[in-house]
Amino acid sequence: MDPLWNALDGHGARLRGTTLRALFADDPTRFDRLSRRIEGLMVDFSKEKIDAAALDALLALAQAADVAGKRDAMVAGAPINLTEGRAVLHVAARDPGGIYDAAGAKEIGPVLDRFLAFAEDLRAGTVTASDGGRFTDVISIGIGGSDLGPAMAVRALAPYADGPRVHFIANVDGSDFIDTTRSLDPARTLVIVQSKTFTTIETMTNAATARGWLVAALGEAGASAHLAAVSTNLEATAQFGIVPERVFGFWDWIGGRYSIWSAIGLPLAIAIGAQDFRAFLAGGQAMDRHFRTAPLAENIPVIMGLIGLWRRNMMGAGSVAVIPYDERLARFPAYLQQLTMESNGKRVTRGGAPVARETCPVVWGEPGTNAQHSFFQLLHQGSDVIPVDFLLAATAHDPLGDHHAKLTANCLAQAKALAFGKTEAEVRDEMAGSGIAAAEIDRLAPHRSFPGDRPSTMLVYPRLDPATLGRLIALYEHKTFVEAALWDINAFDQWGVELGKALAQSLLPLVEGGEAQHEDASTTGLLDTLRAMRSTTP
């Protein structure tokens, strides 16, 4: 593997010595050669700092790292989550009755049918509140993947939402609960508790508060009709007062950040209905087929994963911005933060040795055009080069005047400006043509010049519909998988989440008034400060 990595380092050094302007000037067919299409999606890689020779070297690394073999092992249900001894089969959840034969996979279809039937009955008014009336609102209580996926998807597919209004509570900060429920009527609200084990502290704290909110308005008997759960802990859900008919399970081979495809997607199904939820699954399934069957050189998730490694290890990018020029994808960057950073934020290989190269970059972003008026200054003229993924719909759901044309023009302009910039010579010529004095040109030209040479990938789709959202999520899932395969890390555990949880449990008695005896000086000082502030705060 070392010669392949060394070859890539050489290509990186070579391409750092040229510019995107030069690469486009030298190859008029660059867009055609460095863009890929499948049904419902086009991805343009031509503004990445890469060429055919570098891409060939990346593909050679993918062959040597056995990306295809690792992909096939995942599909076959092998326990590729090595530290937990689990299969990784979220792909099976979007293909019920399909090619997957691992233990439990055949249960996916019946579970899907069951929670979709519940969603349809709720939407139709067949599942009723304790007084026999319709539910108008649903609160989904979860955290992490049990919240980020459904919350992102419900917002993304708002044009298709014709069921009860769906709200989300995740943060254990009580403000989240208070602000969400302030305008809701308990008599018209269903609460869904989303926790596989029914033990997650934030979720169960909020769930207990929600149950108390229902009981205060409806009584113990009435509250039960307003509760449902997605969990495998039937004993705990029964003790909580949830009847078995309203508990929907999923499996340990579907990790939290992939769980939108399972019964965790119930809030989305309630919002958009079973038919559109199945279209969402079908979009993900279409991307799965492409990932399984397309040659590596034509495989969009594989190329995106290779570009991700190239950005990180050859171009030195420690940060990546995701900018959807699609307001309803406002939560998509946050969703990808968990997907990529929880998966690939690892410092040891699958065998436990320290990694040889940097792994996952920081992922962040906001929708355009808002982002242009906040952090795009840094993207264009900052000292660090930060690659960008742009997402753009060809057609708007809401054809309001020329809004979408202006949105599209801004997206294309930002990608062009990042890639090609504006040289100081061009700035000087432009200012001189406007009659500005030479001394003023000398003073301002360095400030008004743009280095360009800032890479981006553009993803274009016809319209953000359920199938398209499914394709996009599955694409980034597989991209993340490919990066992990290349870095030889386990993308499917998250031990880094656990230490903070354990420490929080041990600190809770001290926060509630216990005496700190064996804590470090900083923690002890902070606890004392908090107690003092609480004693003087009205």
- Checking if the pLDDT of 101 tops 90, the result is no
Is 524 within the bounds of a domain? yes
Residues 6+ apart with CB under 8 A from 195: 142, 146, 203, 204, 207, 229, 230, 231, 233
Query: Do 112 and 71 fall within a single domain?
Result: no
pLDDT band (50, 70, 90) for residue 393 = very high
Is 448 within the bounds of a domain? no
Query: Do 147 and 48 fall within a single domain?
Result: no
Query: Do 114 and 225 fall within a single domain?
Result: yes
Q: For residues 302 and 46, what is the distance between their CA atoms, to the nearest angstrom?
A: 16
Query: Do 217 and 346 fall within a single domain?
Result: no
**In this structure, what token pair is assigned to residue 468?**
């398209």
Q: What's the pLDDT score for residue 98?
A: 75
Q: How far out from the chain centre does Cα 525 lie? A: 37
Q: 0.85 cut: is pTM over it? A: yes
pLDDT band (50, 70, 90) for residue 96 = confident
| Residue given tokens 């119930």 in the structure block | 266
Distances (CA, A) of 519 to 503, 511, 526, 527: 11, 12, 11, 10
**In this structure, what token pair is assigned to residue 526?**
């902070």
Using a pLDDT cut of 90, give the percent of the chain over it. Answer: 91
- Segment 249-262 shows an average pLDDT of 93
pLDDT, tens digit (0-9, with 9 covering 90-100), for 259-303: 999 999 999 999 999 999 999 999 999 999 999 999 999 999 999
Q: For residues 90 and 334, what is the distance between their CA atoms, to the nearest angstrom?
A: 20
Query: Do 414 and 318 fall within a single domain?
Result: yes
Q: Which CATH number do you get for residue 508?
A: 1.10.1390
Range of the domain at 315: 2-81+294-420+454-493
pLDDT, tens digit (0-9, with 9 covering 90-100), for 321-352: 999 999 999 999 999 999 999 999 999 999 99
For residue 148, give the amino acid letter.
L
- Segment 418-426 shows an average pLDDT of 97
Is 521 within the bounds of a domain? yes
Q: What's the pLDDT score for residue 170?
A: 98
Is 425 within the bounds of a domain? no
Is 86 within the bounds of a domain? no
Query: Do 246 and 265 fall within a single domain?
Result: yes
Q: Considering 272, 304, 335, which residue would you say is the last residue of a domain?
A: 272
Is 409 within the bounds of a domain? yes
Query: Do 338 and 264 fall within a single domain?
Result: no
**In this structure, what token pair is assigned to residue 84?**
């937990």
Query: Do 75 and 118 fall within a single domain?
Result: no
- Segment 46-64 shows an average pLDDT of 98
**In this structure, what token pair is assigned to residue 26?**
């030298």
Query: Do 179 and 265 fall within a single domain?
Result: yes
Task: Count the domains in the chain.
Answer: 3
pLDDT, tens digit (0-9, with 9 covering 90-100), for 449-506: 999 999 999 999 999 999 999 999 999 999 999 999 999 999 999 999 888 888 998 8
Are the C-beta atoms of 222 and 206 separated by less than 8 Å? no
- Segment 46-59 shows an average pLDDT of 98
Among residues 144, 79, 491, which one has the least CA distance to residue 89? 79
Q: For residues 334 and 204, what is the distance between their CA atoms, to the nearest angstrom?
A: 23
What's 345-378 look like in SS3? CCCECCCCCECCCCCCCEEECCCCCHHHHCCHHH
Are the C-beta atoms of 304 and 455 separated by less than 8 Å? no
- Checking if the pLDDT of 106 tops 80, the result is no
DSSP 8-state assignment for residue 497: G
Is 201 within the bounds of a domain? yes
Query: Max Cα separation, the chain?
Result: 82
Q: Which CATH number do you get for residue 482?
A: 3.40.50.10490
**In this structure, what token pair is assigned to residue 80?**
């590729």
The residues that are catalytic are 342, 373, 501
Q: What's the pLDDT score for residue 497?
A: 87
Buried b or exposed e, range 22-59, using 16+ CB within 10 angstroms = ebeeeeeebeeebbbebebbbbbbbbbbbbeebbebbb
Query: Do 266 and 218 fall within a single domain?
Result: yes
- Checking if the pLDDT of 102 tops 80, the result is no
Query: Do 407 and 507 fall within a single domain?
Result: no
Q: How far out from the chain centre does Cα 218 lie? A: 37
Q: What's the pLDDT score for residue 355?
A: 97
pLDDT band (50, 70, 90) for residue 166 = very high
- Checking if the pLDDT of 104 tops 70, the result is no
Q: What's the pLDDT score for residue 103?
A: 60
Is 459 within the bounds of a domain? yes
Query: Do 165 and 185 fall within a single domain?
Result: yes
